[in-house]
Structure 1
Amino acid sequence: MWIWLAFMIAACAAGFILFRRNTVPAAAADMAFARLSVVIPARNEEANLPHLLSSLGEQHYRPYEIIVVDDGSTDRTGPIARAFGATLVECPPLPDGWTGKNWAVWNGYMRSTGELIAFLDADVRLAPDALGALVAARSRTGGVVSVVPYHYTEKLYERLALVPNLLGLFAFTSPFERANPRKGLYGSCILTSREDYERAKGHEGVKSELLDDLSLGARYAEAGMPVTNYTGRGMVSFRMYPGGIRSQVEGFGKGAVQSTGKLSKPTVLLVAFWLVGLICAEAAPFLLHTAWAPVWAVGYVLYTLQIYSFSRHAGRFGHWLPVLHPISTAFFLYIMLYSSYRVLFVGHVPWKGRKIRIGGGAE
């Protein structure tokens, strides 16, 4: 019994090793300004785009240009971009060997003229000083920076993403990823200089990759440039899947299995250790009638307190779900099964009306 308690305590402690509250530092008031181009790939984003474009208009560090790449939208994405004064680029037909987002981003880059480039997903929302802070952070670190946004949720099904979000934070804040030669980026919010982007071969160099952000980070690392990831609380947020739980399953599932292969072995082992301990602790309600109940209850309480603490940096998931975290764990396990089925038996994943082949490219 005490061995199991020690195991759950040690597994829970693995989370404290993995998680780092690495928020974007504030920018200095006397920061030098450079021309910043913002590139936004958008496919049927009429619900999200106004939030991002409004927040870009409120930035203290004003972008030199905002480019929205309309990737074959069938909604009002294009008219909305024009109404906010953004430069609208109609994405050409998708060539063989490219995935949709990579092609859209590349076309936005080709139209951009700034010395700095920020690649933002359409569901991102920025605090007024976010761009200035990111530019300042990149000037200190060099290379490329990205942000894991704070996950803003509204509906019940969106909050099921609690455990997947925490595991994502572990992957990007783990201290063992600092020396990982395949260190990835978080694709929702990336800031780089044009010179460094071209040196890393940009999205053209990862054109067929499903996990373009992770592969792009590895390109920077291979070229000898620093890759720095931050957490976004208070600066950068997003609302990921307002369109329903199906889009949430497809979104998380498209890279859930493959992404683990990009992480360092110590990170993978510690994440697995933490997750196994979590699942063991979540067996507590089924053992209340046994002599093991006190041990499992301690494990459940420890994990609950830790999840509640970490979730404040991951997103807005309500007050009750961190307590009833087995619901989110079950959702995560379903995501992993779904992703495994797609990778091993189907050979492609669906996303925004396209079939993206596991080996690269879109159908």
Structure 2
Amino acid sequence: MNAILLFIEWITGFLLFSAKKLLRRKTGDVKNPGRVSVIIPARNEEHSLPHLLDSLKNQTLKPYEIIVVDDGSEDKTSEIAKKYGAMVVRNEKVEKGWTGKSWAVWRGFLKSSGDILVFLDADVRLKPEAIEELIYLRGKTNGVISVFPYHYTERLYEKFSILFNFLGALTFTSPFERVLKKGGMCGAVLICTRDDYVKIGGHSSVRAEIVEDMALGRMFEEEGTPVETYLGYRLVSFRMYPDGYMSLVEGFTKNTAKGALSISLPTLSLLIFWFSGLLSTGIVFFLNLLRGTLELNHYAIFYFLYTLQLLSLGRFIGNFGFILPVFHIFPSVFFLSIFLNSIYRYYIRGIVSWKDRAISIRGWGK
């Protein structure tokens, strides 16, 4: 592969990334925000939920109410929520025609009374000033704010999510998503006014969508409500898959293929372009290493440059360590295998699964 082409593929990563989208610290004060309702869908989240509820207790801007929707949990999710004083809504059965998360979020909304709605996944963790900062940004843009959280990892298998998070971050910071108003939005953290949410029909309008956050973002944009997505960096984090390797595989299989086709063509093309350079340099470098024929050619140089890029930009996205960015051929092959499986499950088998639920592509919870 031509060295010039490799350079263009590599530099694409820097062109898509925007440091302006990093949440750093509180930038302004919020005056009279109204009542803030926090809505948390939770299914078997007894280990994650205490981290979130502890962080909500310590917010500089206190929520008016915290609603936890127990989405058919078989653990102590409800008991933990009650212990923290949250309102608990039990969601034993998913209505036909709905996906589980959208149904749970909608049930929580129906019980809420706040002027500002804050939707949080149960694995999210917040710094004390996070909600105040996000509500300030929402008021500044007069639209919808979502956050792609910093990915906190502990075990090695979790760190294999580096490329899913890296490519996700580049998607949300891509200038094309903003210019083309695709409504790219991360549902892990979402802040909007009650009026804006009701105007588009809320999650009831995307009830059958597997990747409901991207669909919801498009609806906001179509209704004239701007959507801005930030990277959580120092204020908002999550630990996505603490329950084991298979939960990670299942989660990314559910979302990757559909999510890729929900973004703009220019962004998707550039992401593929960037990844092809990463994969090709990794394959050539690794094969030469096995053959004992390593030499300082343009593949070796760009293998090193891709490593530096993953280390330099990756620190804003998650704590993925040093080993996997250096040996990036392994997370590259892992990402590609999950992506191809996601395409197969979504477009050929027509069914995906998540947390012991089979979800047909029509979105009917089973």
Per the alignment, do residues 291 and 217 of structure 1 end up closer, same or farther by CA in structure 2, a change over 3 Å counting? same
1:335 to 333, 338, 341: 338
TM-score, length of structure 1 as denominator length: 0.96
Alignment of 1:128 onto 2:131: no
In the alignment, the residues of structure 1 paired with residue 273 and residue 5 of structure 2 have an alpha-carbon distance, to the nearest angstrom, of 9
User: Counterpart of 1:347 in structure 2: which amino acid?
Assistant: G
User: Counterpart of 1:236 in structure 2: which amino acid?
Assistant: V
In the alignment, the residues of structure 1 paired with residue 365 and residue 27 of structure 2 have an alpha-carbon distance, to the nearest angstrom, of 40
Q: CA offset at residue 33 of structure 1?
A: 3.3
In the alignment, the residues of structure 2 paired with residue 43 and residue 167 of structure 1 have an alpha-carbon distance, to the nearest angstrom, of 27
Residues 163, 325 of structure 1: 8 Å contact kept = no
User: Counterpart of 2:327 in structure 1: which amino acid?
Assistant: L
TM-score, length of structure 2 as denominator length: 0.96
Deviates more, 1:318-327 or 1:150-159: 318-327
Match of 2:314 in 1: 311
1:255-270 alignment, distance < 5 Å: 255-270=255-270
Q: Percent identity?
A: 45
Q: Which 4+ runs in 1 deviate beyond 6 A? A: none
Match of 2:361 in 1: 358
Alignment of 1:116 onto 2:119: no
Q: Give secondary structure in 1 for the equivalent of 2:219.
A: helix
Q: CA offset at residue 226 of structure 1?
A: 0.3
In the alignment, the residues of structure 2 paired with residue 223 and residue 296 of structure 1 have an alpha-carbon distance, to the nearest angstrom, of 47
Alignment of 1:238 onto 2:230: no
Aligned residues: 361
Q: Give secondary structure in 1 for the equivalent of 2:119.
A: strand
User: Counterpart of 1:171 in structure 2: which amino acid?
Assistant: T
Q: How far does the alpha carbon of each residue in 1:124-144 deviate from its partner, in whole angstroms, 9 at most, with x for none?
A: 000000000000000001121
Match of 1:287 in 2: 288
Match of 1:82 in 2: 82
In the alignment, the residues of structure 1 paired with residue 189 and residue 260 of structure 2 have an alpha-carbon distance, to the nearest angstrom, of 20
Q: CA offset at residue 28 of structure 1?
A: 1.9
In the alignment, the residues of structure 2 paired with residue 195 and residue 209 of structure 1 have an alpha-carbon distance, to the nearest angstrom, of 22
Residues 39, 117 of structure 1: 8 Å contact kept = yes
Match of 2:348 in 1: 345
- Note the aligned Cα RMSD (angstroms): 1.4
1:272-283 alignment, distance < 5 Å: 272-282=272-282, 283=284
Match of 1:196 in 2: 196
Q: How far does the alpha carbon of each residue in 1:262-298 deviate from its partner, in whole angstroms, 9 at most, with x for none?
A: 1111101110110011111112132355587421110
Q: How far does the alpha carbon of each residue in 1:138-174 deviate from its partner, in whole angstroms, 9 at most, with x for none?
A: 0001121100000000001000001111011111110
Deviates more, 1:171-180 or 1:115-124: 171-180
1:13-24 alignment, distance < 5 Å: 13-21=11-19, 22-24=21-23
Q: How far does the alpha carbon of each residue in 1:207-248 deviate from its partner, in whole angstroms, 9 at most, with x for none?
A: 011010000000100101100000001100000000001000
Q: CA offset at residue 39 of structure 1?
A: 0.1
Q: CA offset at residue 319 of structure 1?
A: 2.0
In the alignment, the residues of structure 2 paired with residue 119 and residue 30 of structure 1 have an alpha-carbon distance, to the nearest angstrom, of 19
In the alignment, the residues of structure 2 paired with residue 186 and residue 66 of structure 1 have an alpha-carbon distance, to the nearest angstrom, of 20
User: Counterpart of 2:31 in structure 1: which amino acid?
Assistant: M
Residues 150, 237 of structure 2: 8 Å contact kept = yes
Residues 8, 280 of structure 1: 8 Å contact kept = no
1:145-160 alignment, distance < 5 Å: 145-160=145-160
Match of 2:218 in 1: 218
Q: CA offset at residue 180 of structure 1?
A: 2.7
Unaligned stretches of 5+ residues in structure 1: none
Residues 187, 213 of structure 1: 8 Å contact kept = yes
In the alignment, the residues of structure 2 paired with residue 82 and residue 183 of structure 1 have an alpha-carbon distance, to the nearest angstrom, of 35
